Amino acid sequence: MKTRSMMSLLAAAVLATACATAPMSTPTLDQARADFVAANNNPQVSQYAPLEFKQASDALDQANAAAARREALADVDRLAYVAKQRIATATEVARTKAAEANIADASRQRDAVRLEARTAEADRAKRDAEAAQAAAAQAQMQAQSAQQQAQAAQQQTAAVQEQNAALVQRAAMLEAILVELQAVKTERGYVVTIGDVLFATNQANLTPNGMSTLRKLADVMAQNPNRTVLVEGFTDSTGSSSHNQELSQRRAESVASALGQMGVPRDRIAMKAYGEAFPVAANDTAGNRQLNRRVEIVLSNENAQIPPRAAAR
């Protein structure tokens, strides 16, 4: 229909060009032509008012033909006015029907939305019922779980209390034995000193009193599996350095061997010989030299390594 309308306009233009003088027109005809172009470009007109637009196109063709024949201005104006009115009618009919279609479409959309809402409400009610049932089952399971957890907590509390009591008892026993062994607390751990009197004279063999001291220390090790020991041997400055080094080595080995025979795993026993280094007293009197002839056993702090001895000055 748009093609036919445009052909009508082109025919009018051709007829007007064929005349010897300029084509005749009137303001009403110009306005009708402009209104026709606007209506022709409006997709609602072709969709909702095709018959009315056909009538408007025919009326405009008549007005254009009259103008091309150079009929009286009054007749051209009358035909142009009729065409203008029919174009306006087609436009109005298209607008009205488009509005009605929009209203109908909106109504369908509302119905669809309402149906969807009712369906969603029914689904939600079903889900709520299922959720309530699941929640009840979950609450029952949680109650049973809470009861089991309470029982487990009571058992755990009892176990912790028992463990704490055992730790307190073990700590008390450790403290008592260390006091009996005259152990000294240092940054490296507890240091137990086995003096020269606990070895046979100028020998590395332990006396019965020395073995008794080590047996107490072995008991400490058995009850404290997270501790290790470092056995360090020392001598006084009497004799050659090589002799002193060898004697301190043999005495440290004797202590380490005795602890191993008493059940202390060898991987928990380290050993170091220092000879005449690190004296605890001047080697100027017999008493002081006896203090220097010793084996020191360092009992580590729990779950800790024993730091190395500071360099001798």
Q: Is the pLDDT of residue 5 over 60?
A: no
Secondary structure (DSSP) of 261-273? HTT--GGGEEEEE
Strand order through the sheet with 294-299: 184-186, 189-195, 294-299, 229-234, 269-273
Segments making up each domain of the chain, as ranges: 2-108, 146-171, 181-299
Question: Which of the four pLDDT bands, split at 50, 70 and 90, describes residue 6?
Answer: low
* Mean pLDDT along residues 198-203: 74
Q: Which residue has the higher pLDDT, 226 or 4?
A: 226
For 204-244, the pLDDT digits (tens) are: 888 899 999 999 999 999 999 999 999 999 999 988 999 99
Contact of 233 with 248, CB cutoff 8 Å: yes
% of the chain surpassing 70 pLDDT = 92
The two structure tokens encoding residue 45 = 């007109």
Pick from 91-95, 161-165, 167-171, 188-192: least confident: 167-171
Q: Is the pLDDT of residue 313 over 70?
A: no
CATH hierarchy code of domain 181-299: 3.30.1330.60
Question: Which of the four pLDDT bands, split at 50, 70 and 90, describes residue 9?
Answer: low
- pTM value > 0.75: no
